[in-house]
Amino acid sequence: MADGAGGAGKAVKTEHFESFDGTQLAIHRMGAGRPLILLHGLFSSAHMNWIKWGHDTAIAETGREVIMLDFRVHGESEAPQDPAKYPQNVLVRDVAALVDHIGLADYDLGGFSLGARASLHAVAQGILAPQRLIIGGMGTAGLGEWQKRASFFKRVIDEFETIERDDPAYFSMQFLKSQGVDRVAARLLLDAMPDMDLAELANVTMPTLVVCGDEDRDNGSAEELAAMLPNATFTEVSGTHMSSVTKPDLGRAMADWLGGSL
């Protein structure tokens, strides 16, 4: 187990565990108290989404242990290139393996973008049962029309070396490059994420915060998503899909909503 710097200089403890298929995944833990699992966005990491900007610290200060997973193909977790390592909804299975590994029975769950998507799939299918749920940077299109979004990233991967600066995909290519993403593994992962039947959202009955940047339309309408959830609160923070996660407003909104639930 190794320690690293948190968003406000506090220690983050990092450890690894074996997921359901033996893939080594990294967990980063901050604070003490009621457990909150946080899941990061596509081709990002726990460090890039939660730790770098201090969101983990803001939430930990509400009296929680923040448990941040690096998905396979992301961050400090392994990126296997074997297609057999990517069954449908593999990320949901990884989160379930994390819950089993730590032995959690009473916990909360939150995610941004890809992490929000995985959280909703897990809860809607009855695989996970957190007491409270946070859905960040996600709308109805990112769930029901995922294959369209995935096609964009497959193009980024397939045309990686030839994307021009004036291409709308250029920024995404640069982000993948900056994060050192294994493109072979990433493409396999994209094919392991199915569209969601939005009718399944009726199964997500716990108190849920839907939070999204006021300029973020990358995954469709977050407000529409909140309206489809039986027990959701919708709030906006400043920013686009990429910038909202870098601003303190996001962590503050999450911490404020969680603060009254202990």
Domains of the chain: 2-144+196-259 (3.40.50.1820)
pTM score: 0.93
160-212 confidence digits (pLDDT tens):
989 999 998 899 999 999 899 999 999 999 999 999 999 999 999 999 999 99
Residue 87 has pLDDT above 90, yes or no: yes
Cα separation of 193 and 158, whole Å? 18
Which of 1, 107, 110 minimizes the C-alpha distance to 56?
110
Residues sharing a CB contact under 8 Å with residue 229, sequence separation 6 or more, in sequence order: 201, 204, 208, 210
Burial class of residue 164 in the structure, from the number of CB atoms within 10 Å of its CB (0-12 exposed, 13-18 middle, 19+ buried)? exposed
What is residue 2's predicted lDDT score, i.e. its pLDDT? Answer: 42
Phi, psi dihedrals of residue 17, rounded to the nearest 5°: -145, 165
Residues of the chain above pLDDT 70, percent:
95
Q: How far apart are CA 208 and CA 7, in angstroms?
A: 25
| Residue 135 · residue 210 · CB < 8 Å | yes
In the block, residue with structure tokens 């074997």: 82
Q: Please state the φ and ψ torsions of residue 180, each to the nearest 5 degrees.
A: 65, 35
Q: Is the pLDDT of residue 261 over 80?
A: no
Structure tokens at 167: 């291409």
Q: What is the pLDDT of residues 27-45, one digit of tens each?
A: 999 999 999 999 999 999 9
